[in-house]
A and B are shown apart, each in its own frame.
Chain A
Amino acid sequence: MFAHHLRTAWTSVRRSPVLSILIVAAIAVGIGVSITGLTIYHMLARDPIPQKSDQLFRVQLDSWDPDSPFFEGGDEPSGPPFWLTYQDAMALLESDIPKAHAANYRSAAVLESDNPSVAPDVYGIRATTRGFFSMFEVPFRYGAAWDAAADQDGAPVVVIGEKINDELFGGEDSTGRTVRLGDDEFRVAGVLEHWSPHPRFYDLNMTTFGDPEQLFVPMRAATDREWAINGNTSCWKPESLVTFRDFLGSECVWVLFWAELPDSASREAYMTYLNGYVDQQKAAGRFPRPMDNRLRSVEEWLEHRQVVSDDSRVVVALAFLFLIVCLLNAVGLMLAKFAGTAPSAAIRRALGASRGDIVRQYLTEVGAIGIAGGLAGLALAATGLWSLRQGFEDLANVARLDLSMGFTAIGLAFLAALAAGLYPAWRVGRAVPVRFLKSQ
């Protein structure tokens, strides 16, 4: 029966090709625009590490100024600072409650290689501790993370990304070989597979949708060399800062800290530990503000840092109103189209088809038109997103269709077409056969 409906639908489409194409076009434009807007929102709101986003926590301690709360953008206080002081981060690394944890910051250095065809260039560097790799499930192609001793003594070892490994070593297993970073030899401990979480949840400071660094070194190796902090540094306390040592011992916050806490028991234990640590520091005269320690999961952190911009939500809202206008247009076109086919429906009714048959027949046609509109709309959305990628470098990782958006587009188009076709189909089904038969 369905095959018959489809065949009849095709005949009907062929009978009024212009109107059919216009309906497909109306749906396609609506889907194209709304899927473009929705895709950007979807990519911004995406969970970058779904398998464990509820087990990874950003650690915040309120070590800030007693006289004024911490502000970061906007006119409302932001709660505890986003970053930790160096001394607190180092102290928290002593805890064995988390399954893994990592302090880190972004720096930069000039990379030189023995390969003469590669000119020295500046690279972003993630200075961190070895827990970073296991916690964030960073995949290795060769070698592994550095050992615990390197975290302690700041040994000059480096984990490099696949891109740099391709450039410098032609993609070979380069573990054990060396690269020059800031005029020092660093031994390659491991080479990563492609790894690019979007949004780059572990550090939202620079471009949120940028690619991760291609170089990872022990935090101690970076601070020993006094490598600059290419992230946010915020200080509140009047204290004499002359040397880098002074800075490391200061109340300035700049270190990012993440902990992996797989279950609620470990979360509670860790929170108790944090509160105990702050109490101890309060006794030593630090942490002048009321106790306010936070563990924010990946999702909560992205929400707190407002990764999904208001603008992207506004665009989605307006894009969907646009889709409604397209559908109203489609309803009008369908009425015109079905008005033309009323006589043939009347003949079918007279030959024994029920109203339900007629309505089902038309809905089949409308559904098929919807799917065609969805496919065309998907092509339009792909074009729209492509033009956004061309125009905006920062959107290269955002304005991209994925499979789920593809299905959404087709499904949405199908449902939208059915919704638009319901009334026209019902009207044709309701038509009295006799009226049409008489005038034939």
Chain B
Amino acid sequence: MELGSILKGMSRNWVGPLLVALQVAITMAVMVNALFVIQERREVMARPTGVDEANLGRTGIFAYADDFDWTGEIRADLEALNNHPGVHAAGTVNSLPGTGSGWSSTWLVEENKPETSVQSAMYLVDEHGLETLGLELVEGRWFREDEIIDVDPTGFEGFFSGIVLTESLANKMFPDGALGRMVYTESEDQAPVVGVVRQLAVPWPSYLEWEDSSLVPGRLSGPAIFYAVRAEPGRLEQVLPEVEELLTGRASGRTVLPPETHREMVAEEFTDERATVRILFVIMVLLVLLTGLGIVGLASFNVRRRTRQIGTRRALGATRGDILRYFLAENAVLTAMGLGIGVVLTYALNYFLADQFNVARLPGSWLLIGMLALLALGQLAVLGPARTATRIPPAVATRTV
């Protein structure tokens, strides 16, 4: 019943409503797309790595003295670390999942057949690795101390006595059971699969096969090595500085690498994503506020302009509720017009982002949620001015200003 008079009112003073409708439209396009990008980036960052993330830290040593007893000092370090109160377990590693740098290796499922090759991350771990990383062994066994060999990234002698695969990699390489099967390299080395762990992510966040990792019993042959340190639950922040002090005081001829938590390392690797999420979030909040204020501004202007008209309507029998409803309805019509343009803009913007950049296609449900949210925002914003309107006394109609 009121739609006709609402539209008539708008067409008489169309600039203000048009501006607000356009604001609503662009706000919807930006809000929905920004939220979508935020959600996408969050999902990537939230992927589990398979290790005990909350309690895991990393330190290490860099030796420089010519006569540094590499093997002996590492053994003594590990003993001291594993006996330190608050440390659950500690062991040597070459890298940690999600932290940006690590090793990869090409394995062959069948000997001398390059076409059966599979790429995977390769972690060097020691006998403490299972406990230190907090992995879940689903099949087979972990490595023994006597299996750990010295490895240099630029070349070493011998090969590993066994290999542990993640479930994901095991299923890819050996769909009918991996335990006991041989894994080959292109350089004609081989090792049996001795165990399978539930999950362990690769070191590189942008790598597509997130869970294709393998573990081998090895230790870097110097001059630098990382120690993974897993603290008792909740004690990581306290333990890490103690560990640094412990290692620094224990031997000379080497420096201790500053300890970091696994979470810090992963967060640093995601600097771009986190900064994007933060900026987009700020843009979104400001945008919603701004559009809300725009709606408030237009409605207040209308209330002031229509003071006499409202008074007249009240004098002719319109209730306060009628006045309130009128303003809410007017806003709903205005917002709906904006959302009409908004849907097109939202899709156009998403199409552009998906086409040009690393953004996926927007599911339809996001559009619906965006529309409902903006409709609610509009009604909320107009509530204040509309209530002011309801307080206009009917007597205004009789006054000449």
Contacting residues of chain A (299-351) with chain B, CB-CB under 8 angstroms: 309-315, 317-319, 321-322, 324-326, 328-329, 331-333, 335-336
A173 CB to nearest chain B CB (Å): 27
**A246 interface contact, C-beta 8 A:** yes
A335:B280 contact, CB within 8 angstroms: no
The answer on a CB contact under 8 Å between A325 and B64 is no
Q: How far is the CA of A76 from the CA of B109 in the complex (A)?
A: 24
Contact A241 to B155, CB < 8 A, known contacts A122-B257, A318-B280:
yes
Contact B286 A33, beta carbon cutoff 8 Å: yes
The reply to whether the CB of A147 lies closer than 8 angstroms to some CB of chain B is: no
A313 and B357 contact, Cβ closer than 8 Å, known pairs A242-B157, A329-B290, A395-B271: yes
Interface locus among A3-11, A211-219, A256-264, A384-392: A384-392
- Minimal beta-carbon separation of A427 from chain B (angstroms): 8
In this complex, the member of B37, B63, B290 whose beta carbon has the largest number of chain A beta carbons within 10 angstroms is B290
Q: Is the CB of A109 within 8 A of B185?
A: no
B1: Cβ under 8 A from any A Cβ? no
Alpha-carbon distance A226/B156, docked complex (angstroms): 13
Please tell me if A67 contacts chain B, counting CB pairs below 8 Å: yes
CB atoms of B357 and A314 under 8 A apart: yes
B156/A242 in contact, CB under 8 A: yes
Does B275 touch A at the CB level, under 8 Å? yes
A116: chain B residues within 8 A (beta carbon): none
Bound together, the chains give a CA A315 to CA B297 distance in angstroms of 28
Interface residue from B272, B274, B278, B290 paired with A326 (Cβ < 8 Å): B290
B residues within 8 A CB of A395? 271, 275
B64 close to A120 (CB less than 8 A): yes
| Chain A residue, CB-CB nearest to B119 | A71
Q: Which of B62, B271, B293 contacts A108 (CB 8 A)?
A: B62
Chain A CB within 8 A of B216 CB: no
Q: Contact: B114 with A322, CB < 8 Å?
A: no
Residues of B within 8 A of A326 (CB): 290
For the complex, is A17 an interface residue (Cβ under 8 Å from B)? no
Residue numbers in A under 8 Å from B174 (CB-CB): none
Q: Which residues of B contact A394 (CB under 8 A)?
A: 268, 271
B120 within 8 A of A: no
Task: Tell me the nearest residue of chain B to A121, going by C-beta.
Answer: B255
Q: A169 contacts the other chain (Cβ, under 8 Å)?
A: no
A residues less than 8 Å from B20 (CB atoms): 328, 332
Give A120 Cβ to nearest chain B Cβ, in Å: 5
Task: Identify B64's interface contact among A110, A252, A321, CB under 8 A.
Answer: A110
Known contacts being A26-B290, A29-B290, A109-B64, is A392 close to B271, with CB within 8 Å?
A: yes
Q: How far is the CB of B14 from chain A (nearest CB, A)?
A: 12
Q: Is the CB of B297 within 8 A of A332?
A: yes
If A26-B290, A241-B155, A393-B268 touch, whether A332 touches B19 (CB-CB below 8 Å) is yes
Contact partner of A325 among B254, B257, B280, B290, CB < 8 A?
B290
Report A-chain residues with C-beta under 8 Å of the C-beta of B37.
311, 314
Chain B residues near A242 (CB, 8 Å)? 155-157
Whether A37 sits at the interface, judged by CB under 8 Å, is: yes
**Chain B residues whose C-beta falls within 8 Å of the C-beta of A364 in the assembled complex:** none
Are A238 and B155 in touch, CB under 8 angstroms? Answer: no
Does A329 contact B293, Cβ atoms closer than 8 Å?
yes
Complex alpha-carbon distance, A336 and B33, angstroms: 32
CA gap between A411 and B382 in the complex, in Å: 35
Does A273 count as interface, using CB distance less than 8 angstroms?
no
Check B283 against A33 for contact (C-beta < 8 Å). yes
A229-B153, A391-B278 in contact; A319/B283 too (CB < 8 A)?
Answer: yes
Interface of A is mostly: helix
Output the nearest chain A residue to B34 by Cβ-Cβ distance: A318
Chain A residues numbered 106-123 whose CB sits less than 8 Å from any CB in chain B: 108-110, 112, 119-122
A226 to B273: give the CA distance in the assembly, Å: 37
Q: Which residues of B contact A325 (CB under 8 A)?
A: 23, 26-27, 30, 287, 290-291
Assess whether B356 is interfacial by the CB under 8 Å rule.
Answer: yes
Residues of A near B353 (CB, < 8 A) are 314, 317
Question: Cβ of A73 and Cβ of B19 under 8 Å apart?
Answer: no
Q: Check if A239 is an interface residue, CB within 8 A of chain B.
A: yes
Kindly state whether residue B400 has any CB partner on chain A within 8 Å: no
Cβ contacts B246-261/A at 8 Å (1 or 0 each): 0000000011010000
Determine if A94 is an interface residue (Cβ-Cβ < 8 Å): no
Using known A-B contacts A238-B186, A325-B30, determine if residue A228 contacts B223 with beta carbons closer than 8 Å. yes
Partner of A311, one of B26, B223, B273, B283: B273
Contacts known (A310-B357, A313-B357, A329-B23); A318 close to B30, Cβ less than 8 A = yes
Does A36 have its Cβ within 8 Å of any Cβ on chain B? yes
Contacts A109-B64, A318-B30 given; indicate if A122 touches B187 (C-beta within 8 A): no
Tell whether, in the assembled complex, residue B153 and residue A228 are in contact, meaning their CB atoms are under 8 Å apart.
yes
Quick one: which of B272-325 are within 8 Å of A by CB?
A: 272-276, 278-280, 282-283, 286-287, 290-291, 293-294, 297-298, 301
Given A329-B294, A331-B19, also A322-B188 (CB < 8 A): no
Give the chain B neighbours of A331 by CB distance below 8 A: 19
B153→A240 contact, CB < 8 A: no
Asked if residues A112 and B64 are in contact (CB atoms below 8 Å), the reply is yes
**Given A233-B153, A329-B294, A384 and B23 touching (CB < 8 A)?**
no
Which residues of B lie under 8 Å from residue A109 when comparing CB positions?
64
Task: Assess the B62–A229 pair: CB atoms within 8 A.
Answer: no
Q: What are the 6 closest A-B residue pairs judged by CB atoms, nearest first? A: A241-B155, A110-B64, A247-B154, A238-B186, A310-B357, A311-B276
Hey, which bits of chain B sit against chain A, CB under 8 A?
A: 15-16, 19-20, 22-23, 26-27, 29-30, 33-34, 37, 41, 62-66, 114, 152-157, 185-188, 206, 208, 223-224, 254-255, 257, 268, 271-276, 278-280, 282-283, 286-287, 290-291, 293-294, 297-298, 301, 349, 352-353, 356-359
30 sample A-B contacts, Cβ–Cβ < 8 Å, listed by A number: A33-B282, A36-B279, A37-B279, A109-B64, A110-B62, A110-B63, A110-B254, A122-B255, A229-B154, A238-B186, A239-B187, A241-B155, A246-B155, A310-B358, A314-B37, A315-B276, A318-B33, A318-B34, A321-B30, A322-B283, A325-B27, A325-B30, A328-B20, A329-B291, A329-B297, A332-B19, A335-B15, A392-B271, A394-B268, A395-B271
For the complex with contacts A252-B154, A310-B359, A318-B283, 20 further pairs of A-B residues with Cβ separation under 8 Å are A29-B286, A110-B63, A110-B254, A112-B64, A120-B64, A183-B65, A238-B187, A240-B187, A246-B154, A311-B272, A313-B356, A314-B276, A314-B280, A315-B279, A328-B19, A328-B20, A328-B22, A329-B23, A332-B20, A395-B271
- A residues with CB within 8 A of B: 26, 29, 33, 36-37, 40, 67, 73-75, 108-110, 112, 119-122, 182-183, 226, 228-229, 233, 238-244, 246-247, 252, 309-315, 317-319, 321-322, 324-326, 328-329, 331-333, 335-336, 384, 388, 391-395, 423
